């Protein structure tokens, strides 16, 4: 028995374009794509039975979507609202809970809300509050710690260390050096119970100490390999012995750029004298309270997580041998550590964070890098951007040549730091600038007047000279250099060649 006649389908050019797009686009929901193909086939004159056979569906499905499209056009192909209970929590209630979570403390003196205390305060169920917090990514029970560096050379050191990571010098190896001190040889007071189905490995909370050792490590972030040595003490004598180990382990044809922290043993007179006798060593210090910039700390985390935290040792000798075996296994299949962020990205993130914490007393002042460079300040009050028209400023200008000719563009790098200015809160501040050779001329731009340190780097040869200038002021302080001559053609510099 023949069925009722089908409603004819006629499409406008715009409707056909939309339906063909839905039918072809890979990201379209499959249900909507099928409905689009049904309507297109019907518009081309297909019968319900013919379209059903062509698309492998029932005739009733074709009839349903043909009728829906004939009545509601494109909107008719969307799913209708599902039946169910009406929504009980309004947008206003959600906003009130989220605002209260972010802006208020619990009335009973707790430091943070729990889902149950918020449920009591808002008149909602605990599960409803939990769903709201999950939807907005709120976790009041968690707290993370952080610390801002107060190093007055913070920006200078960030740019130096990041520059070494992202653009290491030619014929040089970058090593991240640090010490993991007070590594304890610990034994549990009862045997460790093994991992079993449904039960994690278990060990006693209390332990017995059998002494400590210190691990000195130098990580090559490019390859991931590590030079390491354990010592029973942690003094500059041990650090010197480790530097000698690095010197003997790395081929003589390479310079060594060490990234390390500001620990006192790294800066003793004995260490400085040894470094002067070994000019292929170049030290790059991280800012204070910024150990995250030293990639060897990430390797120490691997060592702690994968070996030390769950190991037991009954003597320091046993501990040191176990560490050595683990490092040997690591060096057979090392994994590189890749630094991704630029110095500008780090500083911009820090600036945005400091601006959000209004009462912290910390903030970052970005000076015009063509004039003052960058200054990181903390609890210092207002710092004024200076130009040469302001009193109390200075500028260094000069020429730079190589055997009388102009060096290549940006081949000579000038780093200038100093000045004796004070902020509105009477805090001593300095300006910092980095500039490069451009033809035979160079200039520092506007700086704070006062004592200045000028570091000149010849990137073509690796030679460097440092000049300490007494108090200078005004715009016409001149320093001329010929980088092919000893001391770059000047007296009074401290040079590495």
> What is the pLDDT of the chain when averaged over all its residues?
84
| CATH topology identical between 156-192+205-331 and 344-482 | no
Q: What is the pLDDT of residue 360?
A: 45
Gyration radius of the chain's alpha carbons? 34
pLDDT at site 385: 54
Residue 165 CB neighbours (<10 A)? 23
As a whole number, mean pLDDT of residues 387-416 equals: 85
Distance CA 14, CA 22 (A): 13
Once rounded to an integer, what is the mean pLDDT over residues 298-312?
A: 92
How many Å apart are CA 260 and CA 177, to the nearest integer? 5
Higher pLDDT, 157 or 419: 157
**4, pLDDT greater than 60:** no
pLDDT at 472 over 50: yes
Q: Write down the residue that tokens 């770059």 correspond to.
A: 488
For the segment 172-181, the average pLDDT, to the nearest whole number, is: 94
- What residues are paired with 386 via a beta bridge? none
What local confidence, expressed as pLDDT, does residue 35 receive? 83
Question: Which burial class, exposed, middle or buried, applies to 180 when counting CB atoms under 10 A from its CB (0-12, 13-18, 19+)?
Answer: buried
Of 184 and 55, the one with more pLDDT: 184
Q: Above 90 in pLDDT, residue 226?
A: yes
CA distance linking residue 153 with residue 286, whole number of Å = 10
Confidence of residue 80 (pLDDT cuts 50, 70, 90): low
Q: Give the three-class secondary structure for 434.
A: strand
> Are 273 and 190 contacting, i.e. CB atoms less than 8 angstroms apart?
no
Query: Can you give the pLDDT at residue 323?
Result: 95
pLDDT at 460: 86
pLDDT of 203 over the 60 cut? yes
Hey, which residues does 394 pair with through a beta bridge? 447, 474
What pLDDT sits at residue 140? 93
Task: Decide if pLDDT at 374 tops 70.
Answer: no
| pLDDT at residue 384 tops 80 | no
Work out the average pLDDT over 325-353. Answer: 88
The residues, any chain, with a CB within 8 Å of residue 16's CB and separated by 6 or more, are 40, 43
Listed in sequence order, the DSSP H helices in 304-460 are 316-332, 343-356
Question: Is residue 493 pLDDT above 70, yes or no?
Answer: yes
The answer to whether 388 and 368 are in contact (CB under 8 A) is no
Task: Find out whether 396 and 371 touch, Cβ atoms under 8 Å.
Answer: no
**Residue 1 pLDDT exceeds 60:** no
Better-scored residue on pLDDT, 337 or 49: 337
Count other C-beta atoms under 10 Å from residue 181's C-beta: 14
34 CB neighbour count, 10 Å cutoff: 19
Q: How many CB atoms lie within 10 A of CB 217?
A: 23
Q: Where are the domains of the chain?
A: 13-77, 91-136, 156-192+205-331, 344-482
DSSP letter for 389, please. T
Mean pLDDT in residue range 108-129 = 93
Q: Greater confidence, 315 or 353?
A: 315
Percentage of residues of the chain with pLDDT beyond 90: 39
Q: Which whole number is the average pLDDT over 51-71?
A: 84
Question: Could you tell me what percent of the chain has a pLDDT over 70?
Answer: 87
Longest distance between any two alpha carbons in the chain, whole Å: 112
Say whether pLDDT at 134 is over 80.
Answer: yes
Rounded distance, CA 207 to CA 188, Å?
Answer: 4
Structure confidence at residue 106 (pLDDT): 92
pLDDT value for 155: 84
Q: Average the pLDDT over 251-270 and give the result.
A: 91
Confidence of residue 481 (pLDDT cuts 50, 70, 90): very high
Question: Which fold is adopted by the domain 156-192+205-331?
Answer: Nucleotidyltransferase; domain 5 (3.30.420)
Choice between 279 and 410, residue whose per-residue pLDDT is larger = 279
Instruction: Measure the CA–CA gap between 441 and 450, rounded to whole angstroms.
Output: 23
Structure tokens at 72: 């509601």
State the fold for domain 344-482. Immunoglobulin-like (2.60.40)
């Amino acid at each position: 028995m023949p069925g009722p006649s089908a409603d004819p389908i006629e499409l406008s050019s715009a409707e056909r374009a939309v339906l063909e797009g839905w039918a072809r686009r890979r990201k379209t929901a499959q249900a909507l794509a099928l409905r689009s193909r049904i309507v297109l086939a019907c518009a081309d004159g297909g019968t319900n039975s013919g379209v059903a056979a062509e698309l492998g569906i029932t005739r009733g499905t074709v009839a349903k979507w043909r009728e829906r499209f004939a009545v509601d056009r494109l909107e008719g192909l969307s799913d209708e609202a599902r039946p169910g209970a009406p929504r009980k929590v309004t947008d206003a209630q959600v906003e009130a809970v989220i605002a209260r979570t972010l802006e208020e403390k619990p009335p009973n003196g707790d430091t943070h809300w729990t889902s149950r205390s918020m449920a009591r305060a808002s008149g909602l169920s605990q599960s409803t509050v939990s769903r709201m917090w999950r939807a907005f990514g709120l976790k009041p029970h968690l707290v993370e710690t952080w610390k801002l560096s107060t190093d007055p050379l913070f920006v200078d050191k960030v740019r130096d260390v990041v520059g070494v990571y992202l653009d290491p010098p030619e014929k040089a190896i970058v090593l991240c050096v640090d010490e993991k001190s007070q590594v304890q040889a610990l034994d549990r007071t009862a045997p460790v119970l093994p991992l079993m189905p449904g039960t994690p490995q278990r060990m006693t909370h209390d332990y017995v100490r059998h002494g400590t050792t210190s691990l000195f490590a130098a990580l090559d972030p490019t390859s991931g390999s590590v030079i390491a040595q354990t010592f029973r003490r942690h003094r500059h004598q041990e650090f010197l012995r480790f530097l000698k180990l690095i010197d003997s382990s790395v081929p003589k044809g390479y310079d060594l750029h060490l990234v390390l922290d500001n620990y006192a043993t790294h800066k003793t007179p004995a260490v400085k004298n040894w470094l002067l006798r070994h000019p292929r060593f170049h030290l790059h210090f991280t800012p204070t309270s910024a150990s995250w910039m030293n990639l060897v700390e990430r390797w120490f985390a691997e060592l702690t997580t994968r070996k030390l935290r769950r190991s037991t040792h009954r003597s320091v000798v046993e501990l040191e041998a176990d560490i050595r075996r683990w490092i040997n296994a690591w060096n057979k299949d090392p994994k590189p550590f890749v630094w991704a962020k630029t110095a500008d990205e780090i500083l911009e993130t820090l600036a945005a964070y400091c601006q959000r914490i209004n009462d912290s007393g910390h903030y970052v002042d970005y000076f015009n890098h063509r004039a003052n460079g960058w200054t990181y300040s903390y609890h210092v009050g207002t710092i004024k951007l200076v130009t040469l028209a302001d009193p109390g400023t200075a500028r260094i200008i000069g020429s730079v040549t190589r055997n009388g000719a102009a060096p290549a563009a940006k081949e000579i790098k000038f780093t200038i730091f100093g000045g004796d200015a004070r902020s509105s809160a009477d805090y001593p501040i300095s300006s910092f600038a980095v500039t490069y050779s451009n033809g035979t001329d160079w200039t520092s731009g506007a700086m704070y007047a006062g004592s200045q340190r000028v570091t000149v780097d010849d990137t073509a040869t690796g030679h460097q000279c440092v000049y300490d200038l007494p108090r200078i002021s005004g715009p016409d302080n001149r320093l001329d250099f010929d980088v092919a001559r000893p001391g770059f053609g000047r007296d009074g510099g401290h040079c590495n060649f």
